[in-house]
Amino acid sequence: MFFVETLEFEGLGNRSYLAGGQRAAVAIDPPRDVDQVIALAAQRGVRIAYVAETHVHNDYVTGGLELARLTGARYLVPADAHVSFTRTPVADGDTSEVDEALVLRAIATPGHTPHHTSYVLEKEGRAVAAFTGGSLLIGSVGRPDLVDPRLTEQLARAQHASVHRLAATLDDEVPVLPTHGFGSFCSSSQTEGDASTIGQERAGNDAFTLDVDDFVKQVLAGLENVPAYYTHMGPANTAGPAPVDLTPPEPADAAQIAERLAAGEWVVDLRNRIAFADGHVAGSFNFEGTGKLATYLAWLIPWGKPVTLLGDTPAQIADAQRELTRVGIDRPAAAATGDPATWVRHGERLAAFPRASFADLADAHEHGEDLVVLDVRRDSERANGFIEGSTHIPLHELHGRASEVPDGTVWVHCAGGMRAAIAASLLEATGREVVAVDDGFDATADTGLSITRP
């Protein structure tokens, strides 16, 4: 018998895995907060005998080193990965006996990184699962441009060869279990689906249906912007991340919140965008705790800037703190929960701004209001259509380009509302009058707004 348990991290678009038999297991690409991996092993009644990394990650801080230390597991890391800690180097073809008749086999699959390695779980000599990391993803492949821009085309070609090698090695029914590709910016493209097999990928993944030249051309043309915080993840993982501290942060009262804002620190409100728009601390930023908190906060914040978290409950703060450790934002400077009215000093009032739909925007246009439409979607999204006359500054660039937004009340929109709320809070903090369009972009079709389609 064998098992495969999946740990999903929706905010980062990643997964980790625990796989094993009756007595022992291997953890694949574990998260920074390793307590949940240990708990899962305890529920299964197995010891963690191995911890395996498919590659040095560029999008999150690994918990592999700490998990191996805590459990006494052997830490498997690709031999060609240049790291600064003791580990068991793994080369193509190496095997590790996880449990009785259960073997983990390494397969070199360069492309996402030069040293990328996939792992195949074999039961009695038959492959039963392929842990493909950032190589073969569901309907896509890992992006090849995160290590060195000069290597991008070379790695894209290697990626094509690697997935074909996997398909030639494994039977069609073998499940494909990637680490990236569920919304992660480590994926070369965003696709649908959360389960697949070698056979399904062979039939529908462009890496198999296109020849290498067309595949490389398509991959290079579709690469999105790289989140700014990625530049800090590789070095942290190469050096060996420190253990995390998930104890509650220091409580902050209204005076301390005001002092931190005055000092230029970031005060982040985790509440939903409706509650934030209705009333918030002036100068605070709205990053919903249920959205892609870690991705967008880590992308926008000046690295190392202290963060104070505001939330509905201590549980919301704890969840955010846990997620932020996964991208190297280890300790909030302080936190506050409860009634937002207690977050401002006596005599001060909460700030607020209106929310609207695209129909409201069309109506405001029709009545000749002096307004600016700001589109904060990514370039690839805008390429499919945009509101005529709108200003375009992608959200990840807005903090440094706010002065470029034309005068007037700013109606800010994205594709669904979450990023518009972040952008509205950033602009309001600079003194601008804002309206957050909390609506799906598809709704523009029924409003009479003029849409330009390149």
CA distances in angstroms from 273 to 66, 217, 328, 361, listed in the order given: 36, 39, 25, 18
What CA–CA distance (Å, rounded) separates 430 from 433? 9
Computed from CA positions of residues 441, 443, 446, 449, in that sequence, does the dihedral angle turn out positive or negative? Answer: negative
**Would you give the end-to-end CA distance of the chain in angstroms?**
55
Predicted confidence pLDDT, tens digits, the chain (454 residues): 899 999 999 889 999 999 999 999 999 999 999 999 999 999 999 999 999 999 999 999 999 999 999 999 999 999 999 999 999 999 999 999 999 999 999 999 999 999 999 999 999 999 999 999 999 999 999 999 999 999 999 999 999 999 999 999 999 999 999 999 888 887 777 666 789 999 999 999 999 999 999 999 999 999 989 999 999 999 999 999 999 999 999 999 999 999 999 999 999 999 999 999 999 999 999 999 998 999 999 999 999 999 999 999 999 999 999 999 999 999 999 999 999 999 999 999 999 999 999 999 999 988 878 899 999 999 999 999 999 999 999 999 999 999 999 999 999 999 999 999 999 999 999 999 999 999 999 999 989 899 998 7
* Predicted TM-score of the model (pTM): 0.94
Computed from CA positions of residues 107, 109, 110, 113, in that sequence, does the dihedral angle turn out positive or negative? Answer: negative
What CA–CA distance (Å, rounded) separates 347 from 339? 16
Q: Which tokens belong to 371?
A: 């307004």
The total of other beta-carbon atoms located within 10 Å of residue 212's CB is 14
CB 155 within 8 A of CB 202: no
CA angle 367, 371, 373 (to 5 degrees): 115
What CA–CA distance (Å, rounded) separates 351 from 257? 14
Computed from CA positions of residues 321, 237, 141, 295, in that sequence, does the dihedral angle turn out positive or negative? Answer: positive
What CA–CA distance (Å, rounded) separates 76 from 30? 12
What CA–CA distance (Å, rounded) separates 41 from 32? 16
Q: Which contiguous run of DSSP H or E holds residue 423?
A: helix 418-428
The CA R_g of the chain, rounded to the nearest whole Å, is: 24
